[in-house]
């Protein structure tokens, strides 16, 4: 199972088709991101034969750019529209990765996205897991996509 390839392809495809934006992947790392400042994070849980999570962590300024593109109107503050858009983005990326992994024999169901935002927060879930964190850049900002499966 090539998580790097699945994350990269799913994220790039969603950004191209839904947002008309190019998302360029960076070098994936195995360390988990925990602390975030002035950001929005959306998490989609996975359950079944495999348990895990997909998370997208986006600085607030980048979340505004993404949401503005998503809604095709200028968005100037992190509000319910931004939280909904970033949650839906995580849901679409998770669904695309799920489809890819299902073809490889990995069965699981997805949860409804949970969204967290704030001036400073930490996310600590699935402590006993393997996975990757992949940074992406778009015009005007960067964000991080994490995918972890429980050991």
For the chain, domains (ranges, CATH) are: 3-21+36-150 (3.40.1550.10)
Residue 81's pLDDT is 96
94 in Cβ contact with 16 (< 8 Å): no
* Cα 46 from Cα 50, distance rounded (Å): 7
Q: What is the chain's Cα-based Rg?
A: 14
* Cα 87 from Cα 110, distance rounded (Å): 13
Residue 127's pLDDT is 63
Question: Following CA atoms 23, 96, 29, 48 in sequence, which dihedral angle do they give, to the nearest 10 degrees?
Answer: 160
User: What pTM does this model have?
Assistant: 0.93
Phi, psi of 51 (to 5 degrees): -120, 140
Q: Tell me the pLDDT of the chain averaged across its residues.
A: 91
Ranges of H-type helices in 20-139: 60-71, 80-103
For residue range 86-138, list pLDDT tens digits in order: 999 999 999 999 988 888 887 889 999 999 999 999 987 766 777 889 999 99
Kindly state the DSSP code that residue 29 receives in the 8-state scheme.
B
Residue 61 neighbours by CB under 8 Å, 6+ apart: 38, 140, 141
pLDDT of 151 above 70 = no
Question: What percentage of the chain exceeds 90 in pLDDT?
Answer: 71
Residue 102's pLDDT is 82
């Amino acid at each position: 199972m090539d998580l790097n390839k699945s994350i990269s392809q799913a994220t790039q495809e969603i950004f191209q088709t839904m947002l008309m934006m190019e998302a360029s992947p960076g070098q994936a790392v195995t360390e988990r991101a925990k602390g975030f400042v002035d950001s929005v994070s959306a998490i989609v849980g996975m359950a079944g034969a495999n348990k895990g999570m997909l998370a997208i962590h986006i600085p607030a300024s980048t979340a505004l750019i993404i949401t503005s593109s998503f809604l095709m109107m200028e968005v100037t503050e992190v509000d319910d529209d931004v939280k909904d858009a970033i949650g839906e983005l995580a849901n679409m990326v998770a669904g695309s990765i799920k489809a890819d992994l299902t073809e490889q024999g990995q069965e699981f169901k997805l949860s409804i996205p949970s969204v967290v935002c704030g001036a400073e927060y930490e996310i600590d879930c699935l402590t006993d897991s393997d996975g990757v964190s992949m940074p992406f850049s778009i015009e005007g900002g960067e964000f991080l996509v994490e995918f972890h499966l429980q050991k």
